[in-house]
Amino acid sequence: MHVPKDRGFQQTPASEITSRSTYLRRRQLMHGLAAGAAALALPATAQTAAAARPGKNAALPAARSTVPGAVSMDKPTLYADTSSYNNFYEFGTDKADPARTAGSLKTRPWTVAIEGEVKKPMTLDIDALMKLAAMEERIYRLRCVEGWSMVIPWVGFSLAELIKRVEPTGNANYLQFLTLADKAQMPGLSSRVLDWPYAEGLRIDEANHPLAMLAFGMYGELLPNQNGAPVRLVVPWKYGFKSAKSIVKIRFVQKQPRTSWEEAARDEYGFNSNVNPKVDHPRWSQATERRIRQDGLFAKKRPTLMFNGYEPQVGQLYAGMDLKKLF
């Protein structure tokens, strides 16, 4: 792996990717033997309540999605876990940092600019963007490249709803997503682990797939700051870092755009970043995963599913591709 030295990025053991405190907190979060067994033994009514509206933010009503594959039957992860165990480096590299520091983020006023190879470029206020299409609740599995996973009830609509309104030109082959980079609000920007602003990208056919989602909320409420408020991308068949948070600009471009993690560590984080158990990260296996809270410390890890379990819906997007080379 070649990484520019001035970023201060060092190759570390998997258990110390962020810090030792993260490593220990991860185990506390999973609750170990007794708590993990107790959670699995909850009656069905209690398990359903795990996805109930937590009452932390304003309600965001939505109908249950009818998009094929958009509603997982997996048990939702507790809101307390999904809102306190986050990768959001703009607020710190420890998993607990975003919940602790993201209160400084101001999500109103907020605009999202759509530009580039489109016939109708526009800049939308966040509330206008939220009204572009009917809100849906979608229960998606989220798989992190570090080996843990969650199940989250998101609220939003297909990214394709926005795409059709701006009318891409024939030169629009990719979308690039750029996120907020404001040092006054985001203490993590002092870190040089990445070049800011955070950037991600999708092929336009991926972006147009009905499962690719603009999310404005989760668990029936507006997104917490630490989860990417006020609007984020959710691409459930890809590793979590592809789902850009706190988006301020969407660019339609002809050539494959830069992405932050690909630039920082090209040998570890490819542009496609589809969940693929057969392609190991250079420093650990991706063949298995541990579901936060639901899998006890010493329980056998569950097998990682191809495309995170969404292969029937998205597999055709990658027909004929070498998914080991184009990871």
- Give how far Cα 271 sits from Cα of 197, 213, 244, 292, 323, Å: 17, 18, 13, 26, 11
Phi, psi (degrees; rounded to nearest 5) at 197 = -75, 160
Q: How many residues appear in the chain?
A: 327
- The DSSP-derived string for 123-140 is EEEHHHHHTSS--EEEEE
Cis, peptide link before residue 197, omega less than 30° from 0: yes
Q: Tell how far CA 167 is from the center of its chain.
A: 26
CA angle 238–258–118, rounded 5-degree value: 90
What is the Cα–Cα distance from 175 to 4, expressed in whole angstroms? Answer: 26
Q: What is the pTM of this model?
A: 0.86
State phi, psi for 72 to the nearest 5 degrees: -70, 145
Q: What is the pLDDT of residues 95-138, one digit of tens each?
A: 999 999 999 999 999 999 999 999 999 999 999 999 999 999 99
Contacts of residue 153, Cβ cutoff 8 Å, sequence gap at least 6: 51, 76, 137, 138, 139, 218, 219, 220
Q: Which residues contact 102 (CB under 8 A, 6 or more apart)?
A: 88, 91, 224, 225, 226
Residue 198, pLDDT score: 98
Packed helices 20-30 and 32-40: angle between N→C axes, nearest 10 degrees:
40
- Per-residue model confidence (pLDDT) at position 51: 61
Q: What is the pLDDT of residue 29?
A: 42
Contact 66, 75 (CB under 8 A): no
CATH superfamily of 5-318: Oxidoreductase, molybdopterin-binding domain (3.90.420.10)
DSSP 219-255: TTEEPPGGGTTT-EEE-TTB-GGGS--SEEEEEEESS
DSSP type of residue 91: G
Helix locations, the chain, DSSP H: 20-30, 32-40, 44-49, 79-82, 97-101, 126-130, 159-166, 204-207, 260-264, 311-314
pLDDT, tens digit (0-9, with 9 covering 90-100), for 173-210: 999 999 999 999 999 999 889 999 999 999 999 999 99
What distance in Å separates the CA atoms of residue 27 and residue 124, rounded to the nearest whole number? 42
Centre a 10 Å sphere on the Cβ of residue 43 and count the other Cβ atoms it contains: 8
b/e burial code for range 176-197 (CB count within 10 A of at least 16 → b): bbbbbbeeebbbbbeeebbebb
Residue extents of the structural domains in the chain? 5-318
Split the chain (327 residues) into runs of 10 and give each run's mean pLDDT.
40 39 41 35 38 90 96 96 97 97 98 98 98 98 96 98 98 98 97 95 98 98 98 98 98 97 95 97 95 82 97 98 94
